């Protein structure tokens, strides 16, 4: 198994994992109907495969494959594993001893560590993002409430006071029922619960690190922070640890940092102005819209205002919720709930996010405070939902006409749909909507300000979090290197590396004193050296991201060639290191510390173990 494809969030965890599965009393019965094109089969080229992603290359040109029957039974399973290279997971270290793995009380700690790392690097982020985008339903409801709400006393506007008001009233409203309200409430509650779980997860992880410090004899670290962890300075002035052989140190580019903060301020200004400007206009059409248009044209009280057209800003759309009719306490609570969520996501959340981004990037903080600010900045981003509101608005514009006609037919028992043909014959204007009731949405030109502001906000947020994450990881490495085993930063995505490369620069500096010690006296082996972010341009691709990965998955093609050759050589280096066989052959991956020393086992021995895998 190529671990770089399997555990992308955990760098250099393993290089090669040999898993042996022993089963007993196995009965397998499989019946397949298989049709093969023999002409294409003759053109198949068989070659070696180094990753699971290249397995499709081996497939025979099958024209038809139909499973007829399948049965599988076994009585016992025993797993043995071996790891070549660097294994950081205790569970995999346990498997490396080639001992049978049994899920008992002794192995609960290893399993817990494995699950914890998985939650930390993948699940938590996915849950937060899914919880945030589940608010899409809330915004669709709010926009629909504003679009379809219409209460007009026609006798008043038509200036015919002698007619009773109840004779000529237009009242259209939408009220969310209990099922939809409960769905949105559960989505909000799950997001809050996930924040709480991640908060305590970080606290437990810190407690485990202190326990590990005491177990390793680093009692000073367990009692008080290293000196480097208590120094306060802002992220935009950070100087990364380590220096190159030519004496250059990577620093955050101050000019680009100031430009980015200017863009942040500009985005804030656009959003603040944009939420007050007209955003969208809803027009009621069909027979009801035509009636309201006639009343509006003839009414002396409206001064040209059209009752069948309503223009809303973000603020006015939230205020329109108060106009929705309520008949019982549940509807009052439901509308209040939607008002709160709408206000948090469109007003409060974006403002807090801008404040948190500015504080995180500009305010001098120590390591622990920086981690806390980073955590709460991410929390603020999950509750800032202007981008979700804009997506919901676009979706509503695309679908509101269909939904309106469906609701109208449902309420009138398809009476309106049955008279559409007659209306099309009677109405002379071909462009007039021949419906009982219809609604369309039109974006206003001033909505560009809000769209641009949100786009700039998301871009700046991602750039700031990438830089802040790298700076905090470097500060942790700087403070605890040589004292803890988890100081090496995790593998960066190619996009993150691109951002960090272009928002930092190299500066010539004198050799700095060693870092990472509690007292001024530090181990001599910690002095100097290249830091984890010193040379971003020349890092090994295997430590960051495979360039061809983005093409393999969507195109379902085989990316062998140069990548496959590099991966195959890496496998050879890993197995040579495992069996401690020397080799004088130099390969590209031999300098990767994850693979250890290079070696060259006899060909027969290597093939034998490869076949076992």
Query: How far is 573 from 84, CA to CA, in rounded Å?
Result: 9
Q: What is the pLDDT of residue 270?
A: 94
Per the CB < 8 A criterion, the answer to whether 389 and 271 are in contact is no
Compute the average pLDDT of residues 126-142.
71
Q: What is the pLDDT of residue 171?
A: 60
What string of H, E and C letters represents the secondary structure of 473-495?
A: HHHHHHHHECCECCCCCCCCCHH
Give strand pairing partners of 478.
Answer: none
Lowest mean pLDDT among 286-290, 561-565, 596-600, 606-610: 606-610
DSSP string, 103-142: -SGGGHHHHHHHHHHHIIIIIHHHHHHHHHHTTHHHHHHH
Higher per-residue confidence, 607 vs 71 = 71
Q: Is 282's pLDDT higher than 60?
A: yes
Q: What is the pLDDT of residue 471?
A: 92
Query: How far is 503 from 251, CA to CA, in rounded Å?
Result: 9
Task: Classify residue 293: in a domain, yes or no.
Answer: no
Compute the average pLDDT of residues 289-313.
69
Task: Classify residue 120: in a domain, yes or no.
Answer: no
Query: How far is 113 from 111, CA to CA, in rounded Å?
Result: 5
pLDDT digits (tens, 9 = 90+) for 161-189: 444 444 455 566 666 777 778 878 888 88
Q: What is the pLDDT of residue 263?
A: 95
Please report, to the nearest 10 degrees, the dihedral formed by the alpha carbons of residues 205, 208, 213, 217 taken in order.
-170
Give the model's confidence band at 460: pLDDT under 50 very low, under 70 low, under 90 confident, else very high.
very high
Whether the model clears a pTM of 0.75, i.e. scores above it, the answer is no
Q: What is the pLDDT of residue 376?
A: 92
Give the model's confidence band at 103: pLDDT under 50 very low, under 70 low, under 90 confident, else very high.
low
pLDDT digits (tens, 9 = 90+) for 13-40: 444 556 666 666 666 676 767 676 666 6
Higher per-residue confidence, 183 vs 521 = 183
pLDDT digits (tens, 9 = 90+) for 538-597: 554 444 333 334 333 344 334 434 444 444 455 556 556 655 555 444 443 344 333 333
Give the model's confidence band at 468: pLDDT under 50 very low, under 70 low, under 90 confident, else very high.
very high
169-172 and 76-84 as β-strands: parallel, antiparallel, unpaired?
Answer: unpaired
Q: Position of tokens 């959003």?
A: 271
Give strand pairing partners of 78.
Answer: 22
Task: Classify residue 219: in a domain, yes or no.
Answer: no
Range of the structural domain that residue 576 is part of = 549-612
Give the model's confidence band at 523: pLDDT under 50 very low, under 70 low, under 90 confident, else very high.
very low
Per the CB < 8 A criterion, the answer to whether 24 and 85 are in contact is no
Residue 4 has φ and ψ, to the nearest 5°, of: -65, -30
What does pLDDT average to over the chain?
Answer: 68
Per the CB < 8 A criterion, the answer to whether 214 and 398 are in contact is no
Per the CB < 8 A criterion, the answer to whether 6 and 71 are in contact is no
Per the CB < 8 A criterion, the answer to whether 536 and 500 are in contact is yes
Percent of the chain with pLDDT over 90: 13
Lowest mean pLDDT among 239-243, 271-275, 406-410: 406-410
Strand, helix or coil at 308? coil
Q: What is the pLDDT of residue 265?
A: 94
Per the CB < 8 A criterion, the answer to whether 138 and 184 are in contact is yes
Higher per-residue confidence, 27 vs 96 = 27
Compute the average pLDDT of residues 450-479.
92
Task: Classify residue 600: in a domain, yes or no.
Answer: yes
Query: How far is 529 from 546, CA to CA, in rounded Å?
Result: 26
Query: How far is 66 from 384, CA to CA, in rounded Å?
Result: 49
Q: Is 449's pLDDT higher than 70?
A: yes
Task: Classify residue 593: in a domain, yes or no.
Answer: yes
Q: What is the pLDDT of residue 246?
A: 76
Query: Do you know the residue count of the chain?
Result: 613
Strand, helix or coil at 433? coil
Query: How far is 570 from 562, CA to CA, in rounded Å?
Result: 12
Q: What H or E segment, with its residue span, contains residue 255? A: helix 254-274
Q: Is 190's pLDDT higher than 70?
A: yes
Q: What is the pLDDT of residue 234?
A: 92
Domains identified in the chain, total number:
1
- Which tokens belong to 396? 């509503």
Q: Is 470's pLDDT higher than 50?
A: yes
Q: Is 348's pLDDT higher than 50?
A: yes
Q: Is 199's pLDDT higher than 80?
A: yes
Is residue 541 left, alpha or beta, with left meaning phi > 0 and alpha meaning psi from -120 to 50?
alpha
Q: Is 612's pLDDT higher than 90?
A: no
248-252 and 76-84 as β-strands: parallel, antiparallel, unpaired?
Answer: unpaired
Is residue 556 left, alpha or beta, with left meaning phi > 0 and alpha meaning psi from -120 to 50?
left
Per the CB < 8 A criterion, the answer to whether 15 and 3 are in contact is yes
Question: 24 to each of 74, 75, 78, 100, 429, how far by Cα in Å?
Answer: 6, 6, 9, 15, 80
Task: Classify residue 191: in a domain, yes or no.
Answer: no
Cα 287–Cα 288–Cα 292 angle in degrees, nearest 5? 115
Ranked by mean pLDDT, which of 47-51, 408-412, 514-518 comes out on top? 408-412
Q: What is the pLDDT of residue 180?
A: 76
Compute the average pLDDT of residues 41-66.
51
Percent of the chain with pLDDT over 70: 48
Task: Classify residue 173: in a domain, yes or no.
Answer: no
Per the CB < 8 A criterion, the answer to whether 91 and 109 are in contact is no
Q: Is 415's pLDDT higher than 70?
A: no
Ranked by mean pLDDT, which of 28-32, 141-145, 446-450 comes out on top? 446-450
What is the separation of C-alpha 320 from the centre of its chain, rounded to a whole number of angstroms?
32
Task: Classify residue 114: in a domain, yes or no.
Answer: no
Compute the average pLDDT of residues 100-109.
54
């Amino acid at each position: 198994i190529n671990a770089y494809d399997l555990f992308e969030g955990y760098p250099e965890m393993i290089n090669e994992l040999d898993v042996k599965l022993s089963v007993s009393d196995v009965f397998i019965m499989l019946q397949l109907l298989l049709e093969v094109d023999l002409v294409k089969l003759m053109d198949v080229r068989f070659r070696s495969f180094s990753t699971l992603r290249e397995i499709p290359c081996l497939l025979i040109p099958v024209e038809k494959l139909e499973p007829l029957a399948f049965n599988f039974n076994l009585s016992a399973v025993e797993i043995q594993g071996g790891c070549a290279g660097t294994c950081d997971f205790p569970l995999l270290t346990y498997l490396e001893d080639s001992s049978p793995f049994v899920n008992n009380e002794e192995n609960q700690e290893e399993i817990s560590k494995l699950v914890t790392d998985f939650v930390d690097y993948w699940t938590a982020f996915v849950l937060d993002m899914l919880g945030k985008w589940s608010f899409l339903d809330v915004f669709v409801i709010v926009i629909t409430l504003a679009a379809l709400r219409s209460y007009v006393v026609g006798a008043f506007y038509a200036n015919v006071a002698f007619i009773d008001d109840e004779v000529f009233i237009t009242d259209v409203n939408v009220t969310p029922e209990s099922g939809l309200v409960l769905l949105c409430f559960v989505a909000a509650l799950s997001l809050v619960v996930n924040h709480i779980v991640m908060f305590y997860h970080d606290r437990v992880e810190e407690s485990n690190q202190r326990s590990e410090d005491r177990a390793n004899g680093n009692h000073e670290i367990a009692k008080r922070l290293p000196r480097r962890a208590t120094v306060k300075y802002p992220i935009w002035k950070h100087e990364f640890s380590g220096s190159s052989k030519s004496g250059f140190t990577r620093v955050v580019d101050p000019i680009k940092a100031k430009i980015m903060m200017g863009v942040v301020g500009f985005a804030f200004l656009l959003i603040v102005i944009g939420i007050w400007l007209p955003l969208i206009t809803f027009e009621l059409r069909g027979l009801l819209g035509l009636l309201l248009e006639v009343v509006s044209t003839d009414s002396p009280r409206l001064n040209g205002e059209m009752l069948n057209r309503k223009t809303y800003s973000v603020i006015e759309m939230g205020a329109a919720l108060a106009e929705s009719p309520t008949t019982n306490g549940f509807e009052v609570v439901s509308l209040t709930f939607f008002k709160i969520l709408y206000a948090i996501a469109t007003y409060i959340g974006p403002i807090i996010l801008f404040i948190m981004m500015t504080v995180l990037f500009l305010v001098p903080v120590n390591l622990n405070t920086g981690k806390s600010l980073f955590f709460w900045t991410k929390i603020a981003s999950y509750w800032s939902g202007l981008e979700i509101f804009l997506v919901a608005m676009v979706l509503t514009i695309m679908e509101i006409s269909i939904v309106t006609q469906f609701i109208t037919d449902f309420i009138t028992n398809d009476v309106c749909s049955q008279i559409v043909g007659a209306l099309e014959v009677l109405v002379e204007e071909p462009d007039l909507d021949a419906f009982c009731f219809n609604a369309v949405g039109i974006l206003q030109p001033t909505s560009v300000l809000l769209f641009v502001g949100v786009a700039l906000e998301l871009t700046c947020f991602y750039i700031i979090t990438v830089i802040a994450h790298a700076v905090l990881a470097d500060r942790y490495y700087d403070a605890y290197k040589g004292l803890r085993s988890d100081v090496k930063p995790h593998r960066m995505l190619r996009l993150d590396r691109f951002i960090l490369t272009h928002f930092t620069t190299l500066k010539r500096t004198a050799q700095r004193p060693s870092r990472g010690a509690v007292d001024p006296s530090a181990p001599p082996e910690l002095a100097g050296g290249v830091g984890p972010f010193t040379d971003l341009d020349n890092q090994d691709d295997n430590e960051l991201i495979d360039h061809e990965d983005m093409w393999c998955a969507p195109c379902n093609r085989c990316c062998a060639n140069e990548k496959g050759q590099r991966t195959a050589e890496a496998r050879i280096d890993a197995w040579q290191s495992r069996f401690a066989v020397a080799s004088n052959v130099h390969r590209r991956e031999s300098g990767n510390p994850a693979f250890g020393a290079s070696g060259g086992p006899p060909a027969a021995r290597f093939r034998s173990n490869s076949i076992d895998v």
